[in-house]
Structure 1
Amino acid sequence: MKPLQIPKRYRQSREGMYVRCNKRCVNVTDKCCLSGKKLHTCKYGDKHQFLSKVYDPVTGKMKHGKSWPKDLRDFTDFQKLHLELKKQNDKSIITINEKPGLLTQCMKMYAAWIKDIDVPTYERKNNTEHYTRGEIRHLKNLKEALASKEVNADYLVITEFNKKHVEIIYDYLTGRFSNKSFNHQLATYRRFFAYLIDLEYPLVNHFKKVKPLPTKAKKEVVSIEEFKKLCSIVTPEAGVKFKSKKEGGKTKVFRAHLYTDYLINGWAFELYTGCRYEEIQTIKVKDIKEDHIATKDHKASRKKKEDVIRLIPMIDELRDLCARLSKGSSPDDYLIAPKETNRKNVTSKLSVGFTHYWAQVSDRKDVTFYSLKNSYATEMVKRFGDKVNLHLDFNTTMKNYVNELELIKTFNVPLYG
């Protein structure tokens, strides 16, 4: 009977696959453990059998998993059985109150929950894809942070998660992300552990003691003169951008065409309404009324768990724009880019296009597509004060969007003249 052998690449990868020589009770390498000669010369192949070991996260070592029958002689068959054993082991080796006990497993469970997978209808959260992608990305960053200090989340028992792990994550993230981005990730980790605690895991939410980092809202605005200058250069030719990417070890340069025929209309709509991305994507012709646009405030609706409708005042500029965009359209047509079936592409193209063209007319790098919302908020507060209804709380508008330097110009008039 031929001797058994694990291919070298699998022996070196610590996958837990071994061949046991029952003649000498040792693991087989690439040589006969009796003669020291090449393995194929071994005369005791009938004493060989495949052995699986699995990782024990409690001890941090490999432990005996299963000795397979001696008549199992094909490595491929053994590999399939070994992987199945590992899969079963991952699901059962550590449980807490009959629930998954390893950090990675808990993350997967949380990811399924925020996606409403196997969640009763009355408990569904209806989170947006953007939100769920963000939560999952933040959890991946947590795993990456732990791995930087050789802590494997796949084998970390959730009840062993402690302040030291939080410190590793804090130091890693604060060195790589902005304060605002860090705070978003911190919020995810708080929600994640709150979810586990709600499932009666015996845990402490250590992230509650981590203070959010100070942030300052970017309140750059775009003047009407700047906006007109921007729109004047929007052509297909000016929309060409050269990008590079690596393929097969080589860097290839290609052209990206960022021009679309609805860029100026989309930007103007943002400047005249201060809408969020979801609103721009979903407003239809039928939402346009005589003196306002009725749009669902998606963020507020999620927060209050009921539909919140925001009424956008129909200022003269907006009325003219809506009349032009809705001409010849049906009530159920989208107002902005009605032919674009992937609605998320609409705001993506508006944002990327704005950044590209803006760089050609200004060196103010902090200005983005969303700066148009700041422009709208600032002008509306100038005219109407706290009657502006951009947010449920007027203080939110003032804190995050209104440019005080622009607002103060309103007072540059004689007080007693």
Structure 2
Amino acid sequence: MKILKYKKFTGLHIVCKKCNKLIEVSQEVYKGCRHPIDRQRYKAILKQNGVRKTRDLKALEYDNAVKELIGFKDELSNPIQFVTQIPKAETKPELLNDCIMMYSDWLENVDVPFFEQKVRSKEYIRDTVGYVCKLKTYLENIGYKTDKTTIYQVDKNIVNKYFEELYIKSKSIATYNHNIRALKGFYKFLIATKGYDLINPLQYAKLKNEAPNPINVADNDFYKIINCLTEENSIQIYKNGVRKNRYRPYIKEAFELIAYTGMRITEAISIKYSDIILTQSGEIDYIIGVDYKYEKAHNHDKSKPKKIVPIPYSPELADLLKRLDYKNHLGEDRYLIGADENISRESMAKQLSHSFGFYRNKAGITSPIGLKHLRKSFLTKIETQTGLVESLGYQKTKSVIQNNYLVKPEIARAVRGKGFRLFEPDANK
């Protein structure tokens, strides 16, 4: 793998802008990064008064990058000079490749004014830029030399043909919609933020309906999957020969916790023993959950109290907590699931999601259910049995729950079970 020239210099690194990995350590493929040299940038990473300061450098030559790094260091050590610097005139690159790089930098808040900055996860930036790069790959496949193609040449007709092809080939509705949103955002950035004289070819593009009829995990299917969770016959073999062990010692309890709390996968496996609330008599009252999706969207600067979701008691949840020996760990800042595992909660969530699909197939279940559908099962049962699903705060509005989570056939069965009828019997008969 070819990389930018690198010699060890304090604070100087090389980062891949495609996957956000530092890659200067080795000339070989590093940590799975296989992206070409044109996705690489020199990056300054310094510490100033205990605070990490970073900047993507413009230079593509080692000596110039070192000079730029030293200049950045001088700016940090002289805050007055740093503030009063005369801003450089902003240029508008025309090449498609340069526009994509500029968009990637903007997503990372590089040279973005403080009051315009927005917190975005590395995964979001990686995926968004990746979707934009798919358009670039399409252009290359139909004969364009993208290193010479300008953004003005990628007109509405080309983009329309790209999405016509994607519409047919895309097996996942969500993936298709992600492509639409990413390209919309890319053109909106160029037009509204950077002032390019372009027409947004996706201005009126419509998304596919992702969930017209939500599905859930049937009780029998859930028990079948739980009973399949054994270490034996748990190796998944991919078409390319890669083998992965889908079993983990904590997997059964993890699936159950997700099912019995109704939280999203990462939210459920982030619950700790300190989140268990007891009644005055010492019995389980409820569990404190945190709505991470809301936090990322509306409280990324941690300026507000966390949005708490009180997870209600159920016999299944109480039994699970007993098996997890909650009484001997009450109040501990320790995860209920995989507390001793050296893995992030996000990575564990992906691992569990893949494992659920594997064990679903192993159990012979043909329904296209995933781990996320356990949340739909939970919220549907809360609604049919108590009618309090909105009040618990699992979603921001009831319309979101109604349209995306409640499984309508289950609602119909619950109505029937309650003895619903339209009219009283005719007394005259």
Q: Report if TM-score (shorter chain) is over 0.5.
A: yes
Q: Which has the higher contact order (CA 8 A, sep 6+)?
A: 2
The aligned residue for residue 290 of structure 2 is 296
Match of residue 378, structure 1, among 374, 377, 380: 380
Instruction: Give the distance between the partners of 2:271 and 2:233, measured in 1 at CA.
Output: 29
User: In the alignment, which residue of structure 2 is the partner of 1:415?
Assistant: 420
- Counterpart Cα distance in 2 of 1:127 and 1:324: 38
267 and 145 in structure 1: CA distance in 2 versus 1, 3 angstrom threshold: same
Q: Offset at 1:123?
A: 3.9
Cα contact 1:271–1:372 (8 A) shared by 2: yes
Instruction: Kindly indicate whether residue 249 of structure 2 is the aligned counterpart of residue 261 of structure 1.
Output: yes
- Residue in structure 2 matched with residue 394 of structure 1 by the alignment: 398
Counterpart position of 1:115: 108
* Superimposed CA distance per residue, residues 344-385 of structure 1 (whole angstroms, 9 cap, x where no aligned partner): 231122112211111122332411111211211211111232
Structure 1's 239 and 217: CA in aligned 2 closer, same or farther, altered over 3 A? farther
User: Is residue 2:275 matched to residue 1:274?
Assistant: no
Partner of 2:312: 314
Once the two structures are TM-superposed, the CA of residue 257 in structure 1 deviates from its matched residue by 1.6
Q: CA offset at residue 119 of structure 1?
A: 4.2
Shift, 1:211, TM fit: 1.8
TM-score, structure 1 as length reference? 0.69
Aligned mates of 1:138, 1:195 — CA distance in 2: 15
Cα distance, 1:217 vs structure 2: 4.7
The one of 175, 179, 182 aligned to 2:176: 182
- Tell me which amino acid in the other structure corresponds to 2:100: M
Say whether the 8 Å CA contact 1:145–1:172 is kept in structure 2. Answer: no
Amino acid at match of 1:402: L
Paired residues of 2:261 and 2:268 also in contact (CA < 8 A)? no
Change (3 A) 1:388 1:143: same
Shift of 1:117: 3.8
Kindly state the Cα deviation for residue 403 of structure 1 after the two structures are TM-superposed.
1.1
CA shift, 1:305, in A, is 4.2
What secondary structure is seen at the aligned counterpart in 1 of 2:287?
strand
**Are 2:222 and 1:221 aligned?**
no
CA contact (8 A) 1:380 1:388 kept: no
Tell me the SS of whatever aligns to 1:141. helix
Tell me: CA distance 1:111–1:233, structure 2 relative to 1, closer, same or farther (3 Å). Answer: same
Q: Could you say if the C-alpha distance between residues 193 and 266 of structure 1 is closer, same or farther in structure 2, counting changes exceeding 3 Å? A: same
Shift of the alpha carbon at 1:121? 4.9
Question: Aligned in 2, Cα 1:153/1:281: closer, same or farther, shift over 3 Å?
Answer: farther
Q: How many Å apart are 1:262 and its aligned residue? A: 1.0
Would the aligned equivalents of 2:221 and 2:365 in 1 still touch at CA under 8 Å? Answer: no
Equivalent residue for 1:194? 188
Alignment partner, residue 225 of structure 2: 230
Which consecutive residues of structure 1, in runs of 5 or more, have no partner in the other structure?
1-82, 85-95, 246-252
Matching residue's letter, 1:194? K
Question: Unaligned stretches of 5+ in structure 2?
Answer: 1-59, 62-88, 279-284, 425-429
Q: For residue 331 of structure 1, what is the aligned residue in structure 2?
A: 332
Give the alignment's Cα RMSD to 1 decimal: 2.7
Secondary structure, aligned partner of 1:387: coil
Matched, 1:153 2:155: no
| In 2: Cα distance, 1:116 partner to 1:340 partner | 33
Task: Report the secondary structure of 2:362's partner residue.
Answer: coil
Aligned AA (1:357): Y
Secondary structure of 1:209's counterpart equals coil
Please tell me whether the aligned partners of residues 270 and 335 of structure 2 are also in contact (alpha carbons under 8 angstroms).
yes
Aligned match of 2:81? none
Q: Tell me, yes or no, if the aligned pair for 2:309 and 2:392 is still in contact at 8 Å.
A: no
2:118 pairs with 1:125: yes
Residues 291 and 309 in structure 2, CA contact (< 8 A), matched pair in contact too: no
Match for 2:403: what amino acid? K
Deviations 1:288-315 (A, max 9, x none): 3333333332222233345551313222
- Equivalent-residue separation in structure 1 for 2:209 and 2:394 (angstroms): 24
Q: 1:359 to 1:125 in 2, by over 3 A?
A: same
The TM-score normalised by the length of structure 2 is: 0.67
- Count of aligned residue pairs for this structure pair: 318
Larger Rg: 1
Query: Which of residues 259, 277, 284 is equivalent to 2:272?
Result: 284
**Per-residue displacement from partner, 1:191-228 (whole Å, max 9, x unpaired)?**
11122221222222221122223333563322333322
C-alpha contact 2:258 2:269 (8 A) present in aligned 1: no
- Would the aligned equivalents of 2:265 and 2:372 in 1 still touch at CA under 8 Å? no
| SS of match in other structure, 2:100 | helix
* 8 Å CA contact retained: 2:166, 2:176: yes
Deviation at 1:268, TM superposition (A): 0.8
CA distance in 2, matches of 1:198, 1:221: 42
Distance 2:247 2:384 in 1: 33
1:403 and 2:429 are equivalent in the alignment = no
CA distance in 2, matches of 1:100, 1:296: 43
Change (3 A) 1:123 1:319: farther
Q: Among residues 130, 133, 136, which one is paired with 2:129 in the alignment?
A: 136
Instruction: Give yes or no for contact 2:216–2:373 (8 Å, CA) kept in 1.
Output: yes
Of 151, 159, 164, which residue of structure 2 is paired with 1:166? 159
Identity of aligned residues (%): 25
Match of 1:347 among 340, 346, 349: 349
Moved more, 116-125 or 394-403: 116-125
In structure 1, C-alpha distance between the alignment counterparts of 2:348 and 2:333, rounded to whole Å = 17
Aligned to 1:32: none
Matches for 1:355-366 after TM superposition, within 5 Å: 355-366=357-368
